Structure 1
Amino acid sequence: MLERISGSLLDPHALYASDSELFHDPANRGLDMVMGFTGFADAGHVVKQITTELLETLESELVAVFDADQLIDYRSRRPHVSFVEDHLQDYQAPGLSLYRLVDGLGKPFLLLAGFEPDLQWERFARAVLHIVEQLEVNLVTWIHSIPMPVPHTRPVGVTVHGNRPELIEGISVWKPTVEVPAAVGHILELRLTEAGRKVAGYVIHVPHYLAEAEYPPAAVAGFEYLGAAMSLMLPADRLREAGREVGRQIAEQIEASEEVQNVVSRLESRYDEKAEGTVRRSLLADENDQLPNADDLGAAVEAYLASKEAGQ
């Protein structure tokens, strides 16, 4: 049973209702948390693919629900409803919720997923921080994606940020100093860092010419980076298969257009020029820049964690 936490409208706790049993269950203390919000960039629909796959594939329990009416601007982001002949049905109400999930190896973790709030960012951040502190969350990771002038024929790139050097050093392929439009995930990362909580954000690089469509390889890369950071076995198999089909479709389209071939070739040359002589630490790519299967990834995660423990 979800129960509204008492408080004034200015109280951040009043932004959500929680399942009291799950919220106070000691077994849910000290878990890692993944955050993914749709509505900001989401090139290649990476966040949508990842959160949908997690909720459709893994065992889940609803821990808390945020009040959409307080956080969303309906007129700028109108929900959809179906008109069927002479009546309305299937109203798609916006949702933003916290779930307890269990990965493929039986390890529990938390997922905060849904729309990016349009309103009350600071109050929302206080509410999330309260949840993190009450549940004694170990590590908070969040993911989003941006379009980049990179070719689809090279490994999917990532930029990592946050306050966990062991998750950042040697991983990022793009390390600029630049002013960017803020997302609610940025605000959450800042407030979590100020509160002394462990946090890491992953920005997946999506080829700009594929940014408007679903691009499963980018979602697979996101799964693998998140899984490596939190020692989770996440369900990427269906997306891998979808990525192979998308790859075949892209190859056919490129083959049919000399102009597109030239664009991709120029991007490849630029990518290779910048990548030459750059050594990146990665759990994901082998010497041939091939992404591993689930068994290879699991072995790599275990080896990496063992090496970190040995060095402590």
Structure 2
Amino acid sequence: MIEPSLLYEMDPEVREQLRGSRPVLIHLLEGYVDAGQTGRGLSRHLRRQAEHQTLVTFDHDVLHDYRSRRPVITFDTNTWKSASALSLEISHATDSLGQDYLLLHGPEPDTQWDRMVAALNGLVEELDVSAVVTAYGAPVAVPHTRPTLITAHSTDPERFTDNPRLIDRVDVPASFSAYWELALGGQDRLAMGFAALVPHYLAQATFHQAVVAVLERINAATGLALPMGDLPDRVAANLTEINTEMNSSAEVLEVVSSLETQYDAMQLRPEEYLPSADELGAEFERFLADQAKDDE
């Protein structure tokens, strides 16, 4: 393996500010399944709420597959004007109480995962990171009219034992974040993640309620005081928009009502497996597909 530390450069002045602080490192990478734009929304929110200083810059050019995920480039009249910038970095900020934390953000690496994991593990050790945390959205057959459920996971299995029964054992294609968390567990490092269970019919939309749900769980699990800012207002406006759109269709309301019944039953009898979830999800997906065809 090529020396992992060659993948990045670190700002020594920002590094010095962190000495002795044992920060939490939050990683919110783009490019994998993220229903409701939960992880992306949280990343944007955190960067709006506090000034972030770049601590580590990764050599993204060797980690990105440009033909798989092409940058957007703008042509104007008779010349190429600009191209979207791609960057992968760890930034430093403080929460509402002045506590330091780190944020790894940017596109998920396409290549050299083991080398990137080694680089990050070296940084976790050098920066004396106290915990590594992630958050994202998973599409599930649940209604938007109920509180957002969270499936939590950790390298310490005893830390979270109250997950909803909608998700048990499952094989899925790996994200880099999951791959890294697995590696951290092999080194007895504390890592955890929070998957917001987002209504599958909102998987491609923005669902601010999920962002609030994961932010609250991160604060509770780490002791951070990440600010809510304007998120409550965004949630209210988002739900109003969703309800307005769905109230225009009796068929949609019927499916949402079925999901509400299922959700409420699960809360009353969490020990029972609910086999109708896939059926309800398939029904709604067929409905949305039919709607899309009608709009063409």
User: TM tier, shorter chain?
Assistant: 0.7 to 0.9
| Aligned pairs for 1:108-147 within 5 A | 108-147=100-139
Q: Tell me which of 240, 244, 250 is aligned to 1:252.
A: 244
Question: What one-letter code is carried by the residue in structure 2 that aligns with 1:110?
Answer: L
Q: Distance in 2 between matches of 1:142 and 1:22?
A: 23
Query: Match for residue 271 of structure 1?
Result: 263
Q: Residue 105 of structure 1: CA displacement?
A: 1.8
Q: Does the CA-based 8 Å contact 2:49-2:229 persist in structure 1?
A: no
Cα 1:215/1:28, change in 2 over 3 Å: farther
Q: Residue 239 of structure 1: CA displacement?
A: 2.4
Cα 1:113/1:85, change in 2 over 3 Å: same
Query: Match for residue 184 of structure 1?
Result: 176
Higher relative contact order (CA 8 A, sep 6+): 2
Cα 1:52/1:225, change in 2 over 3 Å: same
Deviates more, 1:249-258 or 1:270-279: 270-279
Q: Residue 268 of structure 1: CA displacement?
A: 0.9
Q: Residue 86 of structure 1: CA displacement?
A: 3.4
Q: Distance in 2 between matches of 1:175 and 1:208?
A: 14
| 1:162-185 CA distance string (max 9 Å, x none) | 123564122555440111111101
| Aligned pairs for 1:81-100 within 5 A | 81-100=73-92
Q: Distance in 2 between matches of 1:69 and 1:144?
A: 25
Q: Does the CA-based 8 Å contact 1:38-1:48 persist in structure 2?
A: yes
Question: What one-letter code is carried by the residue in structure 2 that aligns with 1:83?
Answer: F
Residue 15 (structure 1) aligned with residue 7 (structure 2): yes
Q: Distance in 1 between matches of 2:185 and 2:48?
A: 31
| 1:120-168 CA distance string (max 9 Å, x none) | 1111111110000111111111112111110001110111111235641
For residue 62 of structure 1, give the secondary structure of its aligned residue in structure 2. strand
Q: Distance in 2 between matches of 1:28 and 1:81?
A: 43
Q: Distance in 1 between matches of 2:246 and 2:259?
A: 14
Query: Match for residue 94 of structure 2?
Result: 102
Q: Distance in 2 between matches of 1:236 and 1:90?
A: 34
Deviates more, 1:158-167 or 1:109-118: 158-167
Query: Match for residue 281 of structure 2?
Result: none
Q: Does the CA-based 8 Å contact 2:184-2:191 persist in structure 1?
A: yes
Q: Residue 27 of structure 1: CA displacement?
A: 2.7
Cα 1:240/1:84, change in 2 over 3 Å: farther
Q: Residue 26 of structure 1: CA displacement?
A: 5.2
Unmatched 5+ residue regions in structure 1?
1-8, 280-312
Q: Tell me which of 189, 205, 211 is aligned to 1:219.
A: 211
Q: Residue 85 of structure 1: CA displacement?
A: 3.2
Q: Distance in 2 between matches of 1:94 and 1:31?
A: 26
Q: Residue 29 of structure 1: CA displacement?
A: 4.3
For residue 52 of structure 2, give the secondary structure of its aligned residue in structure 1. strand
Aligned residues with identical type, % of pairs: 34
Q: Provide TM-score, normalisation by structure 1.
A: 0.82
Q: Residue 201 of structure 1: CA displacement?
A: 1.2
Question: What one-letter code is carried by the residue in structure 2 that aligns with 1:58?
Answer: A
Query: Match for residue 283 of structure 1?
Result: none
For residue 138 of structure 2, give the secondary structure of its aligned residue in structure 1. strand
Q: Does the CA-based 8 Å contact 1:18-1:63 persist in structure 2?
A: yes
Query: Match for residue 300 of structure 1?
Result: none
Q: Distance in 2 between matches of 1:69 and 1:28?
A: 32
Q: Does the CA-based 8 Å contact 1:71-1:120 persist in structure 2?
A: yes
Count of residue correspondences: 271
| Aligned pairs for 1:200-215 within 5 A | 200-215=192-207
For residue 105 of structure 1, give the secondary structure of its aligned residue in structure 2. coil
Tell me how large the CA RMSD over aligned residues is.
1.8
Question: What one-letter code is carried by the residue in structure 1 that aligns with 2:106?
Answer: G
Q: Distance in 1 between matches of 2:204 and 2:75?
A: 26
Q: Distance in 2 between matches of 1:270 and 1:132?
A: 42
Q: Residue 199 of structure 1: CA displacement?
A: 0.8
Unmatched 5+ residue regions in structure 2?
272-296
